[in-house]
Chain A
Amino acid sequence: MHELGVATQIVNLVTRVVEEHSATKAGEITVEIGVLSCLDSASLEFCFDAITKGTGLESARLKIEKIDPRAKCRSCGTEYTVRMDDFRCKACGSGDFDMIAGREICVKEVEVE
């Protein structure tokens, strides 16, 4: 439900990048979205298109890359993609792990011209 807020932040960020590179427009914007961030890709795209319509970023479009939740076991060191119904270590079953991916909302790359 916070897609509009995120879309607004992306627009602000990209607008700044376009200015910094003395460019006039942006093309593809690659955005990484962790599965645990609860952000819905379709509604993020919808919000982004709605707020950029008729602005300098009208030609820009989002390329959304979904990031699976990943963890690193503290007991045996294994890195693994977690199952959403069981986050424990796939190798040794330990519940002592650190999440290393899956919650991010990150602008990875922007095309400018």
Chain B
Amino acid sequence: MKKVDLRQKVLSENEKIAIANRERFAEAGTFVLNLVSSPGSGKTRLIEETVKALKDDYRIFVVTGDLMTENDAERIGRHGVEAVQISTGEACHLDARMVDEKLLKRKASAYDLIVIENVGNLVCPASFDLGEDLKVLLVAVGEGDDKPVKYPPMVRASEVLVITKTDLMPYTDSDPDVIEENALRIKPDMTVFKTSSKTGEGLEQWIDWLRSQLTAKKPKPHKP
């Protein structure tokens, strides 16, 4: 037997499609977020608050992923923005092809902001690049302050941390500062927000930051 020295990176099919997606978004100047969390951390609710705040200034498209039901897309669609559901059936994560297929009939350039709500799961979405600009990790008050330490690859893969449901603090022994510290030990350069979609606390900072990101990606958005 002869040994062949290869040292070749395995680029998965998903990565190839993700790269194509990212190029398409870059060309269109569309800013794309991929929201990841455990089930129930408040992704859909945060997206609802986000579209309410931004829909008059930006053209927004939302893609939501769950195993079953169209509930989340319906919840978001009620606010008057385009929202489509990907029902994954068995798959525990979205992949770049699913996002590509949902966008095929649409032009990325028709949107300033695309928000992708991934399937609630803190493992697999870390390995599946969708072509987004940033992954936003949500951890809710009360779901376990050590969540970031339990799922370090997901923390490493995310650029932004939103600690949600801060209104629940008085009712739990959970401390948002501890969640933040745990995450920052793993990824010190994370941008961190603490929000309550119920009381509105902290949402202004999140929205302001999003606006600055949108401006950076495309200085002059088309108003809807």
Residues of A within 8 A of B (CB): 1-2, 5-6, 8-10, 13, 17, 21, 23, 27-28, 31, 36-39, 84-88, 95-96, 99, 104-113
Q: Mind listing 26 A-B residue pairs with CB under 8 Å?
A: A5-B14, A8-B13, A9-B10, A9-B11, A10-B10, A17-B6, A21-B2, A36-B153, A36-B156, A38-B126, A38-B153, A85-B149, A85-B186, A86-B185, A87-B152, A87-B186, A87-B188, A95-B189, A99-B156, A105-B12, A106-B8, A106-B10, A109-B6, A110-B4, A111-B2, A111-B4
Please give me the residue from chain B that is nearest to A84 by CB atom.
B152
Q: Complex formed: what's the CA distance from A19 to B61 in Å?
A: 46
Task: Answer whether residue B92 sits at the interface, using C-beta atoms and an 8 A cutoff.
Answer: yes
Please give me the residue from chain B that is nearest to A29 by CB atom.
B6
A112 near B5 (CB under 8 angstroms)?
no
B185 near A109 (CB under 8 angstroms)?
no
Tell me the minimal C-beta distance from B134 to chain A in angstroms.
17
Please give me the residue from chain A that is nearest to B124 by CB atom.
A1
Please give me the residue from chain B that is nearest to A94 by CB atom.
B188
Q: How many residues of B contact A (CB 8 A)?
A: 32
B185 near A107 (CB under 8 angstroms)?
no
Q: Complex formed: what's the CA distance from A58 to B42 in Å?
A: 47
Of residues 39 to 92 in B, which have CB atoms within 8 Å of A's CB atoms?
92
A104 near B9 (CB under 8 angstroms)?
yes
A95 and B1 contact, Cβ closer than 8 Å, known pairs A1-B93, A17-B6, A107-B10: no
B136-180 CB contact bits vs A (8 Å, 1 = yes)? Answer: 000000000000010011001000000000000000000000000
B11 near A107 (CB under 8 angstroms)?
no
Task: Answer whether residue B24 sits at the interface, using C-beta atoms and an 8 A cutoff.
Answer: no
Report A-chain residues with C-beta under 8 Å of the C-beta of B152: 36, 84-85, 87
Contact of A2 among B2, B124, B182, B189 (CB under 8 A): B124
User: Which interface residue of B10, B124, B156 has the most chain A CB atoms within 10 A?
Assistant: B10
Contact of A95 among B8, B92, B127, B188 (CB under 8 A): B188
Q: Complex formed: what's the CA distance from A38 to B7 in Å?
A: 20
